[in-house]
Amino acid sequence: MDVSLLAPDPARIDPEWMTAALRKARVLGHARVTDLLAKGVGNGLVGDSFRFELTYDHDEPGAPKSVVGKFPAKDPASRKSGTDHMLYIREVSFYRELARTVAIHTPRALVAEIDPSTDDFTLIFEDLGPARQGDQLNGCSLEDATTALAEAAALHAPRWGDPALEEIEWLAKRPAQLSGLVNQALPAIINMFKARYDGMLEPEFMALVEKLPATLLAQQAVTDRPPLTVQHSDFRLDNIMFDVQGGRHRMATLDWQTVTVGAGATDVAYFLSAGIDPALRREHERDLIGFYHGELQKRGVTGYDVEACWRDYRRFATHGILMGVFSALSVERTERGDALFLKMTRGGCAQAADLDTFSFWTS
């Protein structure tokens, strides 16, 4: 850990600090940052992000005009959630250790420092602007959804079935941790979710929410697991930017706080559950899964046919419900948050109902 670059509060980022950070990242030579202006960006729930506009003492080819920084959430509840669920250590470690081993496009991390004893962290990224920010509440077009599934395959294929992933302590979920979450925390969270959103979520969907604990326990015990890979776990529009750097890349994926080892189809199901209109999903669902499977094959995945992919998509389509419920009670409550989590939960429930997902796990 480079203590000199650990600045968990954006107010501590000054021109001297930024100059040292950019020089260490080898994106700045002899020029010196003389001024910077920080502005909040994004819709992060468990981290606060800012764009830093930079001024130098002289022009230098290649010197970034701006960078984006990410820091622990100021809200105490959100900050506690980030620590309790290892979100901060996961994201910093992803950029330090895993990002270079997968093909999905992410911003280059110029600084990735964390103090494991306090969970203070600092992330400084290349600026992906100009770009088009995804918006979970508004959804996206079929074309954008196809782009997202191509990028999902770029994440999943390079480490497909790699046993080394389960040996990475910060990445792999431990059975004891999962059992504790399902048996202790989740039932209480569901009760609070029901109390908060009673009358706002359809009764038939609330009934599916109540099935989550038993379903997740059944998923833990499953023996016919699909090949495991790097799973983003929060692969949704708010964490995606399209046409980044003025169209240089079609898409980039942000917010790796929930990265883990799991089934690639989980990311796909989660994205489609609330990323596109349910009617659009139903009309094009089979084709979209076929497209994702084809992208896996193009990137070298073998021994996994399209029907297995479709089956995994169907049976792991509970993730959207879990994320909507769990996230709602884990961060600061806001008006946008309520709308977001209800849409995520509703979309996940509609998808699971359409696909008869719970029949895989409950008798």
Is residue 178 very low, low, confident or very high in pLDDT (cuts 50, 70, 90)?
Answer: low
3-126: CATH topology is Phosphorylase Kinase; domain 1 (3.30.200)
Name the pairing type of β-strands 120-126 and 109-115.
antiparallel
Is residue 173 very low, low, confident or very high in pLDDT (cuts 50, 70, 90)?
Answer: low
Is residue 2 very low, low, confident or very high in pLDDT (cuts 50, 70, 90)?
Answer: confident
| pLDDT (0 to 100) of residue 183 | 66
Closest CA to 92 of 117, 61, 66, 70: 70
| pLDDT (0 to 100) of residue 41 | 86
Model confidence pLDDT, tens digit, residues 102-132: 999 999 999 999 999 999 999 999 999 999 9
State the Cα–Cα distance between residues 254 and 283, nearest whole angstrom: 28
What's 361's DSSP letter?
A: T
The residue type of 20 is A
Model confidence pLDDT, tens digit, residues 59-80: 999 999 999 999 998 888 888 8
Backbone φ, ψ for residue 123 (5° rounding): -125, 125
| pLDDT (0 to 100) of residue 223 | 77
Pinpoint the residues of the chain covered by CATH 3.90.1200. 132-360
The alpha carbon of 303 is separated from its chain's Cα centroid by a whole number of angstroms, namely 27
**Cα dist. 19→23, 36, 67, 96 in Å?**
6, 11, 12, 21
What CATH number labels 132-360? 3.90.1200
Is residue 222 very low, low, confident or very high in pLDDT (cuts 50, 70, 90)?
Answer: confident
Closest CA to 54 of 91, 16, 99, 85: 16
What's 97's DSSP letter?
A: I
Closest CA to 281 of 187, 346, 234: 346
Q: What is the DSSP string of 105-121?
A: --PPEEEEEEETTTTEE
State the Cα–Cα distance between residues 147 and 154, nearest whole angstrom: 11
Any residues with CB less than 8 A from the CB of 292 and at least 6 apart, and which?
Answer: 149, 150, 152, 153, 268, 309
The alpha carbon of 92 is separated from its chain's Cα centroid by a whole number of angstroms, namely 13
**Cα dist. 117→11, 72, 114, 162 in Å?**
22, 14, 9, 30
Pinpoint the residues of the chain covered by CATH 3.30.200.20. 3-126
When pLDDT is averaged across residues 12-37 and rounded to a whole number, the result is 96
Average pLDDT, the chain: 92
Cis-peptide, bond into residue 130, ω within 30° of zero: yes
Sign of CA dihedral 107, 126, 137, 212: positive
| pLDDT (0 to 100) of residue 289 | 98
| pLDDT (0 to 100) of residue 106 | 97
Model confidence pLDDT, tens digit, residues 299-346: 999 999 999 999 999 999 999 999 999 888 877 888 999 999 999 999
Q: Which of 30-44, 179-193, 257-271, 331-345 has the highest mean pLDDT?
A: 257-271
Residue 175 has pLDDT above 60, yes or no: no
Is residue 277 very low, low, confident or very high in pLDDT (cuts 50, 70, 90)?
Answer: very high
CA angle (243 as vertex; 52, 29 as ends), nearest 5: 40
| pLDDT (0 to 100) of residue 257 | 93
